[in-house]
Amino acid sequence: MVEVHVLVQRYILCVLLSAHAVSSATDKMMRAAQFEKGGPENLYVGEVARPALGERQALIKVHTSAINRADTLQRKGLYPPPPGESDILGLEAAGVVDSLGPGCSEKWKIGDRVMSLLSGGGNSEYVATPEQLLMPIPEGMDYIQAAAIPEVWLTAYQLLHFVGKVQTGETVLIHGGASGVGTAAVQLVSLAGAKSIVTAGSEAKIATAVSLGASKGFNYKEGDFSQKVLDATNGKGVDVILDCVGGSYYEQNMNAIAVDGRWVLYGLMGGGTISGDVFAKLLRKRVSVTGTTLRARSLEYKSQLVGSFMQEVLPHFISGKVKPIIFTTFPLEKIGDAHKMMEENKNTGKIVIEVIQDRDKKDEL
Residues that bind ligand NAP (CB under 6 A): 68-70, 151-152, 155, 176, 178-181, 200-202, 205, 220, 244-245, 248, 266-267, 269-270, 292-294, 342, 345, 347
Nearer to ligand NAP, 151 or 239 (CB): 151
Nearer to ligand NAP, 150 or 261 (CB): 150
What does the chain come to in residues?
A: 365
Q: Which of 105, 89, 85 is nearest to 97 (CA)?
A: 105
* Long-range contact pairs involving 279-283 (C-beta distance under 8 Å, separation at least 24): 281/254, 282/254
CB 264 within 8 A of CB 242: yes
CB of 202 to ligand NAP, least distance (A): 6
Pure H helices in 261-346:
278-285, 299-312, 314-319, 335-343
CB of 132 to ligand NAP, least distance (A): 18
CB of 20 to ligand NAP, least distance (A): 44
Pure H helices in 28-131:
69-75
Residue 140 CB burial class (10 angstroms; 0-12, 13-18, ≥19):
exposed
Nearer to ligand NAP, 43 or 96 (CB): 43
Segment holding 287, helix H or strand E: none
Say if strands 257-265 and 288-291 run parallel, antiparallel, or are unpaired: parallel
Dist CA 178 CA 349 (whole Å)? 6
Mention every residue, 6+ apart, whose C-beta is less than 8 A from residue 304: none
The partner residues of 99 in beta bridges, in order of sequence, read 59
CB of 255 to ligand NAP, least distance (A): 16
- State the distance between the two ends of the chain, measured CA to CA, in whole angstroms: 59
Dist CA 308 CA 312 (whole Å)? 6
CB of 138 to ligand NAP, least distance (A): 21
Cα 37-39-45 angle, rounded to 5 deg: 70
Torsion sign (Cα): 160, 165, 166, 171? negative
Nearer to ligand NAP, 176 or 336 (CB): 176
Nearer to ligand NAP, 233 or 253 (CB): 253
CB of 298 to ligand NAP, least distance (A): 14
* Residue whose CB is nearest to ligand NAP in the complex, by number: 267
Helix 180-191 and helix 203-211, axial crossing angle in degrees, nearest 10: 30
CB of 37 to ligand NAP, least distance (A): 18
CB of 185 to ligand NAP, least distance (A): 9
CB of 17 to ligand NAP, least distance (A): 48
